[in-house]
Amino acid sequence: QVQLVESGGGLVQPGESLSLSCTASGSISSIYALGWYRQGPGKQRELVARVTNSGASNVAESLKGRFTISRDNAKNMVFLQMNSLKPEDTAVYYCNAIVVGGDQISGSWGQGTQVTVSS
């Protein structure tokens, strides 16, 4: 089992930056990738960014240039740096892990952290 806990959400003004953190615990060796999803009001949950345990990363096309994902393997953490924030970035941001074991692939989710971008 993998447990994820996010932190760093809050209220910021448009144009400002915010950094989110996620700490993984449990069966760390079973994690294939860590990433971030978000769900805004009245919207579907969408992938923001993901990084594999080999270091390969991707960011949603619409967020490239503003959002950056990084990880600290020693601390079992993944981060999301968000710059030039816009009101449409307002959402609950969830940490996600792709977990592998045997022939099965599953996912694990954090509780979410609220990011609100407003003037």
pLDDT per residue as tens digits for the range 59-86: 999 999 999 999 998 899 999 999 999 9
Q: What is the pLDDT of residues 10-52, one digit of tens each?
A: 999 999 999 999 999 999 999 999 999 999 999 999 999 999 9
The DSSP string of 40-80 is -TTS--EEEEEEETTS-EEE-GGGBTTEEEEEEGGGTEEEE
Cα torsion angle, 89, 91, 93, 96, sign: negative
Q: What is the pLDDT of residues 84-109, one digit of tens each?
A: 999 999 999 999 999 998 888 999 99
Burial 73-96 (b: 16+ CB within 10 A, else e): eeebbbbbebeebeeebbbbbbbb
